[in-house]
Structure 1
Amino acid sequence: METAAAPGQRAPERADRRADAEGPRLPHPAQRRGQRPLSVGQHAESLIAPPTAHLFVKDHHVNTRKTSFSSLGAAAAAALLLSACATVSPTVGSGNVTYGDAKAVEQVTNQFGSTDLQMIAETMARSLAQSYAGAQTKPLVTIADVKNKTSEFIDTRSITDSIRTQLLKSGTFRFATDIDGMKNQTDELARQNQSGLYKKQGSAKMGKMQGAQYRIEGNITSIVKRNADLTDVYYKFSLMMTDIESGTIDWADEKEIRKTTRR
């Protein structure tokens, strides 16, 4: 007949059976590091207290990564800038640059080009100079805008600049300040007369400007036709000179240009 064991003897057996049922347990972190096991209160504090040291290390790694990304971004931007400068900078002695005749016929495309500009300017200047070749005095002229009525961009100011240059070289016309240059003209007069910086003797006087007798203006139009085989482009440049006082048109001329491109 078995006798009842003392309570102190059965406790180890029950603890052993419970340990076998629950399986093996990992040792406490303090025991793994060879330290004394924590008490219940110390273990609870370790669970509640935030791992500040680990957070600091983590934040340090994040800040380090951010700094690294910023440094990499700055380095990449600098490298891109240097490569752009290297691309734009001219190459000395490359041998790829050649000069051509500015008056040569340009046939790269059927759009308005340098040859068209030169032909128009020469035709208009020659026609106008011949009309006033026998005049006793040089007419005073101003140039207004030439309207671009085509479907492409054309710098009409460049055309009128060339016409004015050729007429001045011919010695048959004088030119007054046009609308675009009037602001610079009036600003200069005001600077000499109202700033107090210049002597009155020798300075340009207000109210001495000469008004133009004639105004030159015009327009450029185009007609474009296409089919399966070719593209035909037609330009017409019209120019006229008007007497400002009377409002009469004293001269007019036009230049026609046709270009054909076959596929």
Structure 2
Amino acid sequence: MRILILSFLLPFLFVSCSSVSYQKIDKAKATKQWGVLEVKETARSMSHSLSTYYKSDLKTGYLEWKAIQNSTSEHIDTKLISNEILNQLTKDKVPFVDTSIREEASAEMAFGKTGMVSAESRLAVGKFKSPSHKIKGEINEVVNYESGSRIQYITVTLFLVSLETNQIVWSEQTNFLKTSRVEGYGL
């Protein structure tokens, strides 16, 4: 009987002991690992700089995103950074294309030509847009240990490359210098 009662109450104890709280993102504090502060600052500075460049210098063309390369010792979700930047640039009306879905779109257009799709919802052929520029990026770091502290210099760099000329036409860098206490240093 005790086992039956314990097996019934045990899950409730674990659930009731856990708690979650949400914070305002702009009030996030620095952490030892790559976190909210770094993601938000990177997205804010990069999207603002690229949006300004596009609207003042480039003015036309479609951009495409290439995955950011993480060359640091930390696990950094580069897709999260990319999505934050792309979201802001899209809000700023900077046009993007996603060539990774061309095959699916082509198959849907071919299916539309079979006559099995209504004329008003059929995808039109010949409306794909080609990217004129590609955005690529890297995250790099230098780590030093001094007097029980870990000093980490992180750089996030984005480049905008013309596909027509292979010329880098824009670049921006966001830098972070993080110092954290190392537990057990010198033991």
- Structure 1: gaps (5+ residues): 1-75
Cα deviation digits, residues 100-129 of structure 1 (max 9, x gap): 11122322x321111101111111111112
Instruction: Give 2:153's match in structure 1, choosing from 229, 234, 238.
Output: 234
What secondary structure does 2:43 align onto? Answer: helix
Contact 1:139 1:174 (C-alpha < 8 Å) held by counterparts:
yes
Structure 2 residue aligned with 1:187: 104
The structure whose residues are more often strand, as a share, is 2
Cα deviation digits, residues 205-247 of structure 1 (max 9, x gap): 3442110111000100011111342111110011110111111
Partners of 2:160 and 2:58 lie apart in 1 by 18
The structure-2 alpha-carbon separation of the partners of 1:205 and 1:87, relative to structure 1 and needing over 3 Å to count, comes to farther
Partners of 1:217 and 1:191 lie apart in 2 by 29
Structure 2 residue aligned with 1:49: none
The structure whose residues are more often helix, as a share, is 1
The structure-2 alpha-carbon separation of the partners of 1:231 and 1:187, relative to structure 1 and needing over 3 Å to count, comes to same
Partners of 2:13 and 2:107 lie apart in 1 by 46
Contact 1:193 1:203 (C-alpha < 8 Å) held by counterparts:
no
Partners of 2:39 and 2:82 lie apart in 1 by 10
The structure-2 alpha-carbon separation of the partners of 1:174 and 1:84, relative to structure 1 and needing over 3 Å to count, comes to farther
In our comparison, the structure showing a higher alpha carbon Rg is 1
Contact 1:189 1:204 (C-alpha < 8 Å) held by counterparts:
no
Instruction: Tell me the percent identity.
Output: 22
Structure 2 residue aligned with 1:99: 22
What secondary structure does 1:174 align onto? Answer: coil
What secondary structure does 2:88 align onto? Answer: helix
Across the two proteins, how many residue pairs are aligned to each other?
176
The structure-2 alpha-carbon separation of the partners of 1:243 and 1:110, relative to structure 1 and needing over 3 Å to count, comes to same
Structure 2 residue aligned with 1:174: 95
1:145 and 2:145 correspond:
no
1:248 and 2:171 correspond:
no
Q: Which amino acid aligns with 1:161?
A: N
Structure 2 residue aligned with 1:118: 40
- After TM superposition, list the pairs within 5 Å mapping 1:45-124 onto structure 2: 91=16, 96-107=19-30, 109-124=31-46
1:129 and 2:51 correspond:
yes
Contact 1:243 1:250 (C-alpha < 8 Å) held by counterparts:
yes
Higher relative contact order (CA 8 A, sep 6+): 2
| TM-score after normalising by structure 2 | 0.80
CA RMSD of aligned residues (A): 2.9
